[in-house]
Chains A and B, each alone.
Chain A
């Protein structure tokens, strides 16, 4: 077979705008380039603003990860101003972020990723009774019934026969890489539909505490939602019981639908446990503080680095080792383009050198630049971040819950730990942590309620609220391990205003381009790691691996001129 050059743009079922170019030969991918094609410049816009407003600005980096940039931002400002938030506010933030994880992961699995593994059209051939039998053998979920599956199948049938496929138009139905039996496809399609209603319900936890979703409200110093059991316009017994019910419904869906489906589907795709591993270095910054965020020992998901795929030990994470490179990115550095810069010294001067659109290929430009994404490196190495990084760091740290669950998965699928380093491993790790968080939510809720019972209803501290109390200059680091991976915000405050702001974001780590040493970013490394591409006209396999990272492109691209000057010139050559 001849060598083929292929472009997939837009990559659909993701957040934002992503372009993948690959070369393939004899059914294998031989080279790959990931390009982010959107640039907004949000951090420049933040300069000179009130740092207490920063969370709202950074939140607009992404409406899918709607919680994570806001919380990382209030943490950065609280770090700079030495603010310790009340324990109730910490628990409320954990509940909000926990629900973001659960909702985001479930929707990713069913609505963004599932169509890579589930053939909707094949569900027509299923026997609904057999599908119900299969589903009931996996889970006690009440809607795993023959009548329900028969109804779903009839819906799909009418849908396919109508010839109006809508969003399912031109899908890769019938592709030989689809392996599920028709009954499993029908079960998954049924749960795809149930997931839509479910997510709409459970995410209302954000509305109770933050007023709306997407983009709920946060506050430097705690949370704005005051608690008063004796008032109708505050967090009271009624709203807490609503929250508790949502936590239960979230957990039930994860335990009885998502988790069993994930294991069942994975068992048909075990070959994908040897495909798409890519980068073997992993970074987790840790998340879900039990106490103050500065007490790193109290994080539920631990912090650390895995090097070279060796999960016998965890290396400490040192934020000072992060640097961003622009070898293949449309930017320039004042001190030369080959040296990496730490976020505190970072510069971002956009300098577009690509072809004038419309274009056919991006990666064959003479200067080797092909993306708006920078290349963050840790101690010079590309790092994979996200659910798999957290599970591996937790496993290597001896985290009991994670070890027990990892063992359960490996036993069920009859694979060893090496299977985790793969496309399937990333997808499985996302389910594992969803299950852990869905169970942990109850603990955070009970701690909140217990504190309220004991008479502590405080949700906010006014210490350091007034700019007059701030030092002339302060700087802070806010971290958060988001659904898509390790996130860091760095803020410099001077004379009561933001002087510099920088975010290093999960999708920047994972979608990073090549650096000067030629090291590929994780997407690129995964696409070239034992990776099939049977039919370049229907690149289903590429979607599987890219979606296993759950790309969020709006998050990945951002800009800051840490020197404090505004960038006003975008040069096209």
Chain B
């Protein structure tokens, strides 16, 4: 349930004018642009350019539809990281239709959707959460008496671009897993004639959605993607390569089971089933919920939720992946562990581990995100 700020960005004002009217500090705005620039993987030198471009943009229209889904993606977007500037981009874009939040219902809600489409035909960004469902002409998901597929086709027809948010919109997700009773498919299976970007994950991190919209506003196009339509700025790196426990992997330090000595030292979760070596995701960089933590950071192995068919390909979740190549040292976890135990090449492994740590730290530092300010306790005023 995404709830935008009630002060709308007027159609004829630039973002700069709007922020001034809303009383948002210039420093906060530049800070936000800085974070977005870092998230988008652009150099520091681009911050002023991003800020300048954003200042000048006029309000785009966004229509957000919910198809076959669990609403977790909408909940996730609602937890985006920057309360100080308040969901900036998604707040500011005119969210003309969002079923979870509409004050109106039934015919009135449908009327609001139709009006928003008509007014901004050919120009609006369409955000989709949830999958389409092809079995039996789509009767497994209907909204207002029409199939989800029909709602998707109709809203996509007038869109300038489509942002498919979450694993359902990306590839169909759990309902598309074996045996896929309902014939679930992602947005790009239905929408072929518009640019579609896939914000992968079950659910994805809210900031990834925000940064994608910023990219659209700044550069006038969707971000560059991998072969699966996922933006490279977020999904260009493997979890394993950016993981805070990578040094433990390289040093052969593993949790052998949950809550054992290794787990209590925060060591690598590869042996309890971590799918980080096969998963491309911004989790270790962006972190979750105002950068509080992330799944591996809280002791649970990655389940690979940003990858297609992960319910079929990454399960059993607690089974160890075979033969994960090391980083800077071509060994598997077992051979590293054994080698260390034997003491034979401990020096080499330690050296490789240290090199690996250094390189990972450099990579991480280059994209380091500021910690979100929180008072230690007491109510938050503002």
Residues of chain A whose beta carbon lies under 8 Å from any beta carbon of chain B = 7-17, 19, 37-42, 44-45, 49-50, 52-53, 56-57, 60-64, 66, 107, 111-112, 115, 120, 141-143, 155-156, 158-159, 162, 164, 166-172, 193, 196-201, 203-204, 206-217, 219, 221-228, 231-234, 241-242, 244-245, 248-249, 252-253, 256, 350, 352, 354, 356-360, 372, 457-460, 462, 465, 538-539, 543, 554, 559, 566-568, 570, 572
Contacts and interface: CB of A to CB of B under 8 A. Distances in A.
A554 B32 CA distance: 35
A166 B141 contact: no
B338 interface: no
A146 B137 CA distance: 56
10 contacts: A12-B102, A13-B105, A40-B184, A41-B181, A141-B379, A166-B94, A200-B78, A204-B289, A234-B263, A352-B136
Nearest to A571: B136
Contacts of B83: 197, 200-201
B366 interface: no
B71 A164 contact: no
Given A52-B317, A352-B139, A215 B202 contact: yes
B257 A462 contact: yes
B178 A45 contact: yes
B94 A164 contact: yes
Nearest to B109: A12
Contacts of A39: 140-141, 182
Given A37-B141, A50-B317, A231-B264, A12 B101 contact: yes
B339 to A, nearest CB: 24
B362 interface: no
Interface string B167-201: 00000011101111110100000000000000000
Contacts of A242: 292
Contacts of B178: 45
A214 B380 contact: no
B259 A167 contact: no
B8 A207 contact: no
B258 A462 contact: yes
B152 interface: no
Contacts of A223: 299
B145 A212 contact: no
B17 interface: no
Given A40-B68, A224-B301, A462-B257, 12 more contacts: A11-B105, A12-B103, A40-B184, A50-B316, A162-B10, A171-B103, A193-B6, A222-B259, A234-B265, A352-B139, A462-B259, A570-B182
Given A9-B144, A224-B299, A354-B139, A167 B98 contact: yes
Given A40-B174, A42-B174, A207-B289, A167 B95 contact: yes
Which 8 residue pairs of A and B lie closest in terms of their CB atoms, listed nearest first? A63-B72, A233-B266, A171-B103, A211-B295, A211-B298, A217-B300, A41-B181, A460-B259
B4 A166 contact: yes
Contacts of B138: 357
A211 B297 contact: yes
A38 B69 CA distance: 9
